[in-house]
Chains A and B, each alone.
Chain A
Amino acid sequence: MTTQPHGWRNRLLRFDLRYTPYLLIAPFFLLFAVFGIFPIVFNGVVALRHWRLDDPTLTGWAGWANFERLLADDAFWNALLNTFGIFLLSTVPQLTLALIVAGLLNRKLRAQTWFRVGVLLPYVTPLTASTLIFAVVFARDTGVANWVLSLLGTAEPIDWRAAKWSSWIAIATMVNWKWIGYNALLYLAAMQSIPRDVYEAAAVDGAGPWRQLWRITVPMIRPVVIFTVILSTIGGLQLFTEPMLFQQNAAAATGGANREWQTIALLIYQVGWKDLNLGYAAAMSWALFLIIVVVAVLNAVVTNRLGGGRR
């Protein structure tokens, strides 16, 4: 009578130690398999098939036809260029400014919490709401952006939607506004763990705040920098809502009259739901997936080097 409950408890304890962690993390992996892995695999299957919504009779395997078409499609290459243009215009200033903001927040400030919460506010704002506001800011006739520029003395109001460079800047501004504070808080959290005496020693050696930021802070929070670079890469290459809602006729999904700011994600939407060519859209999605993997790895390696890593 005494051994049995003991053995039972023993087993329960062993089970608990060994398997409970798996049980607890299982929901994530289950959901990931259902909503993450399965769509990617299924997408790959669709990419190899003909699938047109407006022509149900056209079915069957297409082989590599969708991918071959992709290589010759200037809309795709144009979208790739736009995506990378906006990506560079957003990620680089975004992370740089986030570092500087975090550096400032890491000092002794009055009303510190107020500022720290404040930088997160853009992140909490719903994306569609802020994008619609920015679409007004960058309006041609009555926009705030043109008003500010006119104060600075530009001759003519800029039609932000008429050229690649201006539309890229407008969209990158929206992205930056939203994510600078978020990244700054991530950096700040990492910075809090850097011992104070490192800075004191540096200050004694005559390093100014700027030098301290680049020579001490950045190398010491390198893992977080790499993390944000990878996340920004994934997000930046999937950019969709901002370019979509920036267009006056959002439903057209062409990203401007001459596809000035059509990103790949937007093109995929257009091909899938405007042209109703699901097979081709799936091929594009897979191409985007591969591009993101390559760029994310590349970025991580480069950031690692820049940050002084040896691996």
Chain B
Amino acid sequence: MKRSQFVRMAAAGLAGLLLVTGCSGNSGGGDGAVTLKINFWGDFGLDELKGRYEAANPHVRISLNTGEYNAQHEDLQKKLIAGSGAPDIAAIDEGFIIQFRGQADQFVNLLDKGAGQYQQRYLPWKWQQSLSADGASQIGLGTDIGGLAMCYRSDLFAEAGLPTERDRVSALWPTWDAFIATGQTYTGKTGRKFIDAGTNIFNPVLGQQPVGFYDQGETLRMEGGPKVAFDVAAKAIGAGLSADLAAFSPEWNAGFVKGDFAVLACPAWMQGHIQNTAPDTSGKWDIAAIPGGGGNWGGSFLTIPKQGRNIDEAYKFLEWLVQPEQQIEIFKKVGNLPSQPALYDDPAIRDFTNPFFGNAPVGQIFSGTAENLTPQYLGRRNGPTRVAVENVLNRLASGDLKGKAADAWTEAVKEAQKAAQA
């Protein structure tokens, strides 16, 4: 509840004045220096690269602005509409890239800047994802992709009398049914929950399907991939395996520290999140194969909005960032797997093991799943549709649909259709 309209308006007026006066001092240090503003979420592994680039290019300052995943995308969309305020470089996730490539005229066409020479390096589907529908405009260069694996707590597995060695763990669950059976063993022995949330089973299983929510014609296809993924998630919830922690909520993060769950579907970028969230669990995690084979979950692009003031410098930095040395360093630092397959054969990635994850050969694991994965078309309404179905799964776990899997599916179809039309 807000009371004093006057105070709010005065504050808004004051803020406006500050903006006006602030702008003049913003465009550099006066000695020809440029400041490149980069907006992203989570950890793109840029903290150290920033220093190196600045040292090699003394006239450039790099300003890193990390924020919340959805908020950053919404902010970019607002700035595009407003016509000003967008950063020099904006990160966009695969879940949002379709929405933005529909507005290709708002972004610098990287093909004009000569980015075409890099096309051969990229996974073809990754290159396509950020290419405008007519193929004339490339709005972004791919950073990482989210080849799937399964992270697990080897210490908790040992307590439950399960194998802890990663190959034997992978052998426990060739299929999702076997995975759920393993979870029942774990929960039966320890009385603790096995997975963090039903939604974090739904998403990787959906990522393994050839067709997701939407086909290429933007038609909602609930009976295909979504049905398969929903059934697996509903079964896991029904078996009592889920701790019902909403992904990326504070309680979910606390769950990493407290060991509220023993496994977590792990796209490559999740490694960075676990390391940052629960540094004390170092050495307790390990990484096994995911049931059902390869699949993709997440992965981003770096774009240059046209309204930026330092387009040429931004492109120079972007070009530097996608070179192998930098891509490999980011992988080592935060686990984001490059979207350039040639790098997977590079010893620096192939032989890399992550001490945080019990020296798991993460280079081999993730590049292996990346090469096996089936790229999936993500429709324009993919994001809201996913939220709608996730909500139904949450209601199945706790709420008005509790224990009613059949009703839940009917409801999921209904909600997805609504989200498709919004």
Contacts and interface: CB of A to CB of B under 8 A. Distances in A.
13 contacts: A28-B9, A31-B10, A32-B9, A55-B102, A141-B251, A231-B1, A235-B2, A236-B1, A248-B251, A249-B248, A251-B68, A258-B391, A276-B99
Interface string A236-256: 101100000000110110101
Given A53-B77, A55-B102, A257-B394, A275 B2 contact: no
Contacts of A239: 1
The DSSP consensus for interface residues of chain B is helix
Interface string B383-396: 11001000110110
A235 B247 contact: no
B399 A257 contact: yes
A251 B77 contact: no
Contacts of B398: 140, 159, 161-162
A189 to B, nearest CB: 14
A266 to B, nearest CB: 14
Given A163-B399, A163-B400, A249 B1 contact: no
B175 interface: no
A278 to B, nearest CB: 8
Interface string B63-96: 0000011110010011001000000000000000
Contacts of A67: none
A273 B74 contact: yes
A277 B421 CA distance: 11
A178 B249 contact: no
Contacts of A79: none
Nearest to A271: B422
Contact of B400 (A54, A234, A258): A258
Top 4 nearest A-B pairs (CB, nearest first) are A235-B1, A248-B246, A251-B70, A248-B249
B13 A249 contact: no
Contacts of B323: none
Interface in B1-43: 1-3, 5-6, 9-10, 12-13
A232 interface: yes
A36 interface: yes
Given A54-B380, A248-B245, 11 more contacts: A54-B102, A136-B250, A159-B398, A162-B399, A175-B1, A179-B1, A236-B1, A248-B251, A257-B391, A275-B384, A276-B77
A274 interface: yes
Given A53-B81, A139-B251, A254 B3 contact: no
Interface residues on B, range: 35 or more
Interface in B394-422: 394-395, 398-400, 418, 422
A56 interface: yes
Interface residues of A, number: 46
Contacts of B384: 274-275
B103 interface: yes
Interface of B: 1-3, 5-6, 9-10, 12-13, 68-71, 74, 77-78, 81, 99, 102-103, 244-252, 380, 383-384, 387, 391-392, 394-395, 398-400, 418, 422
A99 B422 CA distance: 45
A187 interface: no
A31 B13 contact: yes
Contact of B387 (A31, A35, A254): A254
A191 to B, nearest CB: 20
Contact of B246 (A35, A234, A249, A275): A249
Contacts of B74: 273-274
A256 B390 CA distance: 11
Nearest to B421: A275
A257 B245 CA distance: 13
A182 interface: yes
A280 to B, nearest CB: 8
B81 A277 contact: no
Contacts of A256: 391
Interface string A152-167: 0000000101110000
Contacts of A161: 398
B407 to A, nearest CB: 12
Nearest to A235: B1
B390 to A, nearest CB: 8
B3 A182 contact: yes
A56 B387 contact: no
A148 B14 CA distance: 45
Nearest to A249: B246
B1 A275 contact: no
Nearest to B396: A257
A238 B392 contact: no
A139 B254 CA distance: 12
B380 to A, nearest CB: 6
Contact of A54 (B70, B99, B394): B99
Nearest to B380: A54
Contacts of A231: 1, 3
A179 B4 CA distance: 13
Given A249-B246, A254-B391, A274-B384, A178 B1 contact: yes
Contacts of A277: 422
Nearest to A32: B9
A240 to B, nearest CB: 9
A56 B69 contact: no
Interface string A163-174: 100000000000
B5 A56 contact: no
A182 B70 CA distance: 34
Contact of A235 (B3, B102, B380): B3
A249 B422 contact: no
Nearest to B199: A249
Nearest to A87: B1
